[in-house]
């Protein structure tokens, strides 16, 4: 435990924490496995609570990581998404102060996804949904995904965007996709959502980008200025920058002395949230990045408190009085 963590005792809300339901883990190998080159870690609810206690995390909002249910097809994809969501919902019901749930959607199956959104919010008390950055090469900013955004906007939903392997891009030998390629695909989807007007049309959706938005804070000005060169309907870079700044950003693997200055300079006040990426980021790495956030000398105590907890409470008010 860092000295700063012991003094601050932040009661963090971790918006980037993963669940590994046994039914999914046992079947994944027979349904394409994980093409990212990363290994599946050990996980249990007890291990998650032990990790959270060590990092002063009050609540972890759980999501299924990539590749999600991409290896299943047709009704089997819908069924596996439902099993994952039922497992997480049951866990949240037994420990509502410790866990939350971003439900998994059987995309790119639109009808199945609309059904699961209704079931998740009406029956499972979902805290939001998790979207992968692409589904077999289809990115959620494409027009055919509009019915999903309409439904999420009507729910005023929180959408947690998690990267997956960029479609058609082979990993570099010896460098698994989560190391290098995931931030790229997050950046790719974020730009598409803005350029295609999704963020402008669906104002009531709150979108969290994993890992500080990939490369977005660092390169947003470049994207905004270049947009005026290839889009006749975009003439003012400032409007594109403001759309980029509407996203929320988590700190998973991104709270170093190099990443935080760019993120805090770019993000709107209240739009940076704590994330750990446990258990796919090993506990020691999650601890390291949490320590770097706690020990940062350029951020005020108030800013750290906001990142660790208060900013998330605006998205998840049910946690305000959680013990």
What proportions of the chain, in percent to the nearest 5, are helix, strand and coil?
50, 15, 40
Domain layout of the chain by residue ranges: 7-319
pLDDT in tens, 177-198: 999 999 999 999 999 999 999 9
Mean pLDDT throughout 278-305?
Answer: 97
* pLDDT exceeds 90 at position 10: no
Instruction: Over range 155-166, report the average pLDDT.
Output: 97
Q: Which residues, 6+ apart, have CB-to-CB distance to 88 below 8 Å?
A: 19, 21, 62, 64, 99, 101, 103
Q: What confidence score (pLDDT) does residue 269 get?
A: 95
What pLDDT score was predicted for residue 168?
83
In the predicted structure, residue 5 carries a pLDDT above the cut 60: no
Residue 171 confidence (pLDDT)? 86
What are 67-107's pLDDT values in tens digits? Answer: 999 999 999 999 999 999 999 999 999 999 999 999 999 99
DSSP H or E segment with residue 160:
strand 158-162
The closest of 158, 76, 62, 87 to 117, measured between CA atoms, is: 158
- Among 103-117, 147-161, 172-186, 200-214, name the one with the lowest average pLDDT: 172-186
What local confidence, expressed as pLDDT, does residue 7 receive? 47
Alpha helix positions (H), the chain: 3-8, 22-28, 45-54, 75-94, 110-123, 146-154, 177-195, 198-201, 216-230, 237-244, 259-266, 283-294, 301-305, 311-313
Please report, for residues 117, 252, 254, the alpha-carbon distance to residue 1 in angstroms, rounded to integers and kept in the order given: 39, 18, 19
pLDDT score for 9:
64
What's the distance, Cα to Cα, between the start and end of the chain in Å? 22
Structure confidence by residue, pLDDT tens digits, 259-284: 999 999 999 999 999 999 999 999 99
The number of residues in the chain equals 323
In the predicted model, is pLDDT for residue 167 greater than 90? no
Would you tell me which CATH number, out of the four given (2.60.40.2700, 3.20.20.140, 3.90.1150.10, 3.30.465.10), belongs to the domain 7-319?
A: 3.20.20.140
* Rounded average pLDDT over 36-49: 95
Looking at residue 321, its pLDDT comes to 76
- Residue 239: predicted pLDDT: 95
- Rounded to the nearest integer, the mean pLDDT of the chain is 95
What pLDDT digit, counting tens, does each position of 206-223 carry? 999 999 999 999 999 999
């Amino acid at each position: 435990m860092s000295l700063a963590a012991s003094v601050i005792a932040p009661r963090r809300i971790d918006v980037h924490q993963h669940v590994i339901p046994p039914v999914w883990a046992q079947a994944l190998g027979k349904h394409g496995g994980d093409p990212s080159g990363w290994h599946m870690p050990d996980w249990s609810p007890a291990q998650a609570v032990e990790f959270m206690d060590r990092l002063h995390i009050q609540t972890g909002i759980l999501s299924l990581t990539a590749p999600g249910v991409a290896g299943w097809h047709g009704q089997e994809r819908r069924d596996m998404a439902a099993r994952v969501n039922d497992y997480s919902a049951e866990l949240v019901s037994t420990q509502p102060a410790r866990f939350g749930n971003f439900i998994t959607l059987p995309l790119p199956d639109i009808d199945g996804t609309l059904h699961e959104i209704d079931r998740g919010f009406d029956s499972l008390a979902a805290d939001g949904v998790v979207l992968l950055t692409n589904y077999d090469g289809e990115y959620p900013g494409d027009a055919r995904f509009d019915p999903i955004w309409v439904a999420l906007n009507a729910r005023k939903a929180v959408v947690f965007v998690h990267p997956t392997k960029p479609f058609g891009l082979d990993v570099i030998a010896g460098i698994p996709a989560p190391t290098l390629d995931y931030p790229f695909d997050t950046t790719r989807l974020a730009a598409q959502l803005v350029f295609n007007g999704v963020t402008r049309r669906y104002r009531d959706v709150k979108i969290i980008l994993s890992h500080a938005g990939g490369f977005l804070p660092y390169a947003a000005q470049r994207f905004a200025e270049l947009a005026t060169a290839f889009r006749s309907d975009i003439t003012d870079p400032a409007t594109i920058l403001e759309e980029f700044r509407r996203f929320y950003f988590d700190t998973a693997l991104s709270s170093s002395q190099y990443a935080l200055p760019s993120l805090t300079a770019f993000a709107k006040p209240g739009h940076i949230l704590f994330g750990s990426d446990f258990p796919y980021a090993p506990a020691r790495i999650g601890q390291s990045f949490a320590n770097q956030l706690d020990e940062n000398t350029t951020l005020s105590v108030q800013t750290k408190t906001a990142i660790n907890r208060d900013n998330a409470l605006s998205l998840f008010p049910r946690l305000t009085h959680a013990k």
